[in-house]
Amino acid sequence: MCRCDNVTIGCAMIRKAMGRTMIRKVISTLAHWHIGTLFIIGILFTGCSTKKNTAGSRFYHAMTTRYNVYFNGNEAYKSGCKAIEQGNKDNYMEMIPLYPIGNKSTVGTGSGDFERAIEKSQKAIAVHSIKRKPQRKQGKRYTEEYKQWLARREFNPFLHKAWMLMGKAQFQKGDFPEAAATFSYIARLYTGQPKITAEARIWLAQCYTQMGWYYDAEDVLLKVNNDSLPYTLAPAYSRTYGHYLLGSQRYREAIPHLLTTIKNEKNKRQKARQYYLLGQVYQLLQDPAKAYQAYGKVIKMSPPYEMELNARIRQTEAFPAGEVRQAAEIKKATDKLRRMTRSDKNKDYLDQIYYALGNIYLAAGDTVQAIKEYDLGVEKSTRGGVEKGILQLTLGNLCWEMGRYVEAQTAYSDAIGLLEKTHAQYEEITKRSEILDELVPYSTAVELQDSLQHLASLDSAARMVVIDTLIARVIRKEEEAKRLAKEAERDALRESIAAENAANAPQQPTTTQPTIPTGDDSWYFYNSQAVTQGKADFQRLWGRRKLEDNWRRRNKTVVALDDFEPVNYDEALPAQEGTTSDEEGSQISTEGDAAGNKENDSQLPADTTSTAAIDEKNPIFYLQQIPLTEEAMAASNEILSDGLFNMGMIFKDRMENFPRAEHSLGRLVHNFPDFGQLDVAYYNLYLMLGRMDRMADANIYKQELIDRFPDSKYAKMLADPDFAYIAVHGKHLEDSLYANTYKEYMAGNYKQVVANAEYSFNKYPMGQHRPKFMFLHAVSALQVGDQKQFLAELKELVQQYPENEITDLAAHILKGVQEGRLLAEGSISFGSIWSRRSAEDLADSTRIAGMDSTHVFTAERNTPYLFILAYEEGKVNENQLLYEVARYNFSSFMVKNFDLSFSHDRGIGRLVIRSFANYEEAQYYQRQLYADPHMNERLSGMRAVLISETNYELLNQFYSFDDYDVFYKKTFDPYPTEEEVPIDGSTLDEPLLNLPPVDETTPAEEDDGEEIQQSPGTNYF
């Protein structure tokens, strides 16, 4: 009241002092000057609430979103993108991704900025979202456009920018699932606004592609394309579609979209990356000319040095054939690369430069020089990364094609350790490396024995000429090594002096304050000055040393012999008469053609002779290895023939290199007629030449096999007039014979079983059922009381076929005999793994029926149950099975946790899933599992078992799976419908679904003769 009185008095005084006319002029002027300000103030007071949806409130919240929260978030987003661009590290030896975030090492860069952008976006959405429907104005026409506007779920006209910013920040952060969820929600939230929806779907497709969900990405992109795509989004659509095509390896279709992306790219560095990617795509599509041009455009754009260098190296891989025909062109290219090897800035890229040199020579057809350059690249490599891995891969491939398998083995072994498992050739070179690990010991032995036998065939003078040449080569290598060591020492000295000069340089007076160790310099290895000084001191003392173990050792060979036991193919050579053996088993020849040295050697002290035996500059080192006696030559021939046989089999079966296999096996059969497995060599020569359509040559080896080894099983096979027919239809014939033999066995016709088995031994000596025939033959002997023959045949089975499925049962029986158990003659009946029991005192089903109640299956439903997936041991990839079931459980049951464990018994593997509260819950889980089409397909062929924990203990102790199956079908089958007994799966944290009826009946096991069946009353002992 007082305040109002004061105002009234104040106004009266103003009117009295100024007069009415002056007051009118002041008010008019103020209204004219500040009408805009007053309007804005009015909007601020009326629009700050999101509960109102008026033109003023929409304007206020859009303006506040744009120039306050969104602005700060967008600035953080741009900072994060810049950090990614600067911190991205591409692997130029592999196909680079279209987006830098596609590199795993880049994920996480700039995450702080992206987190801030996400936080600001979320704040903008929380504070400025207007979802309230506006009031319809009186008299406004209810047009279709107005209807669509009223149907919106968001009325802040700028807020979609905040939503898009959040999704983009999540994408650049590397959180692709979250980004996909955001863009999917945007597409639903802004239905009816085509431009926003299209942009959101384009980004959604990028997320799907980045996660490898190519089917979903294609589906989203088709929806965008089918709608009216705004022309402003055409470049983004083309870029995303190209990204999808590259991810799904449809490279040729991706090229037009990649060209469009390059055309619209404004970032110079990113455009250089895209040209590099284009060159890689052209190179992959075997278009070297266009690849060469694309890499040339990368170089013209002056990108970062590493990208430029790799583009030049890639150009050497894509050298058009026409440019390498002239020697001048080769010289020009190689001279430029050799100048680069002398530059200090390339000291860490020497492996790549020599790789490029090797590529040029390889394109020119000079494989010898190419291998030299590749070897230099391996030697000069300092990083030991993927670049060296690609170099070793290329070298290994070249040596493989040239038949230089020892060098290929070394190259592949190194490459496997340097390349990622995702590399396109990783599986191939891994397989090749395994093959070479088998082949190289034999090929090395053959090469060595050939050389030694050649030296043995020479006279003394010629032999010494060869030895002197070898000694001269060793001396040259040592001199070269000394020269390189001196150069390294000089380089180290220069660097040491430079480092000392830098350390002793005068300091500015202002820098005399004590240095407080902070940040990365707090540890020695984070202090760059200390590390540089340490390197210089090391190199001044030791010179440049290759990074390796035992770097202070001068004699690396001695270290290798001390640390590793070498494969010694000469250990089978007997000591020649009149020879001296050193402590390592080396033999020193003192007679024969080397008699000229005998007198001098005999006068040497023992330690001098032993030293000479390991000195590569002493003739004794070479003479001691030469087979100069009949015994030594025989031992050498044994090593040689064994090597040729194994080489031939590896060439034929593992490498399918038939020419080399023919050379090795052909040499074996012609030069070593007494070799123990010559019949096998003849047989494989026949088969191999037949596959090469050289039947005339094949028949020659066939006849020689029959003539020389008439009793061999291979000779009998080839002599059989039905051999060709059996080769085509033998599998089906053997299957039928085995099925019939098993039926005869079950009927007790043991004589017929023996006759059938012996017929199979003659007719199908290499058939897949041979182990099972052997087993039936042995068991038939037991049935007529011949235990000795039974055990002898089982031992033979276990020895010949240790990996066969039936061998496990045979070994089990033999082990029981060794433990003192007695065989029950005339009562044995062996069956499938599903019939096997653990308890050995259960002879037949009558004993089961007579057991007391504590050992009988119970039909109780309201007790903890297990769900078991059972399968034949060794037939299922358990790691894959565990992954698939765990993935299904995680994605289908949000809260419920399951225990997954494996067990193995009686040849049966089991994945046990526990635990369920009762039978109904376990059955619900089974229905849901098999209703999933993917899991239904994955689990085909396995037995699904629902069993209580109590019954599971009995199954493990007394019963077989077949026993429980009979009990289950009698007690629980047929499965009750949900109408009869409601199946409550709510305890599994899943809503009840209206599933289609699922046939839960376990299909009967098919008896196609593939497995020996066991009757319920089996008793092994």
Same domain as 977, residue 897 = yes
Q: Is residue 139 in a domain?
A: no
Q: What is the pLDDT of residue 440?
A: 94
Query: Quick one: which of 352, 343, 341 has its CA closest to 317?
Result: 352
Contact 827, 1019 (CB under 8 A): yes
* Measured distance CA(352)–CA(373) in Å, rounded: 10
Structure tokens at 809: 């049962």
Counting Cα atoms < 13 Å in the Cβ hemisphere of 518 gives 3
Structure tokens at 519: 């940040």
Query: Quick one: which of 251, 182, 194, 260 has its CA closest to 223?
Result: 194
* Measured distance CA(492)–CA(965) in Å, rounded: 79
Same domain as 109, residue 157 = yes
Q: Is residue 469 in a domain?
A: no
Contact 209, 247 (CB under 8 A): yes
Q: Where are the alpha helices (DSSP H) in 101-175?
A: 111-128, 144-150, 159-173
Same domain as 980, residue 874 = yes
Q: What is the pLDDT of residue 105?
A: 83
* Measured distance CA(690)–CA(731) in Å, rounded: 20
SS3 state of residue 1014: coil
Q: What is the pLDDT of residue 856?
A: 85
User: How many domains is the chain partitioned into structurally?
Assistant: 4
Q: What is the pLDDT of residues 644-703, one digit of tens each?
A: 999 999 999 999 899 999 999 999 999 999 999 999 999 999 989 988 989 899 999 999
* Measured distance CA(780)–CA(790) in Å, rounded: 8
Q: What is the pLDDT of residues 629-644, one digit of tens each?
A: 899 999 999 999 999 9
Q: Is residue 511 in a domain?
A: no
Q: Is residue 1004 in a domain?
A: no
Contact 56, 50 (CB under 8 A): no
Same domain as 799, residue 741 = yes
Element housing 812 (H / E):
helix 805-818
SS3 state of residue 420: coil
Same domain as 807, residue 760 = yes
Same domain as 984, residue 849 = yes
The model's pTM is 0.57
Q: What is the pLDDT of residue 973?
A: 65
Same domain as 802, residue 762 = yes
Cα 696 from chain centroid (whole Å): 46
CA angle 305, 309, 310 (to 5 degrees): 120
By the 10 Å C-beta count (0-12 exposed, 13-18 middle, 19+ buried), 12 is classed as exposed
Contact 903, 912 (CB under 8 A): yes
Tokens 């010898």 — which residue? 368
Indicate the residue among 832, 862, 883 that finishes a domain. 832
Q: What is the pLDDT of residue 606?
A: 47
Tell me whether strands 943-948 and 908-916 are parallel, antiparallel or unpaired. Answer: unpaired
Q: Is residue 800 in a domain?
A: yes
Same domain as 976, residue 871 = yes
**What 3 state SS string does 340-369 have?**
HHCCHHHCCCHHHHHHHHHHHHHHCCCHHH
Cα 171 from chain centroid (whole Å): 25
Backbone φ and ψ of 439, nearest 5°: -75, -45
Q: What is the pLDDT of residue 707?
A: 92
Q: What is the pLDDT of residue 679?
A: 92
Contact 977, 799 (CB under 8 A): no
* Measured distance CA(244)–CA(213) in Å, rounded: 9
User: Which of the residues in the chain have pLDDT under 70?
Assistant: 1-51, 53, 136-140, 226-227, 320-326, 502-613, 724, 726-728, 730, 816, 818-833, 835-854, 894-896, 973-1021
Q: Is residue 201 in a domain?
A: no
Same domain as 916, residue 802 = no
Same domain as 878, residue 765 = no
Contact 88, 108 (CB under 8 A): no
| Average pLDDT over the chain, rounded to an integer | 77
Q: Is residue 819 in a domain?
A: yes
Same domain as 855, residue 823 = no
Same domain as 894, residue 775 = no
* Measured distance CA(958)–CA(736) in Å, rounded: 35
To 10 degrees, what angle do helices 214-226 and 194-211 make? 160
Q: Is residue 485 in a domain?
A: no
Structural domain containing residue 130:
47-134+146-174
The CATH number covering residue 945 comes to: 3.30.70.260
The CATH number covering residue 804 comes to: 1.25.40.10
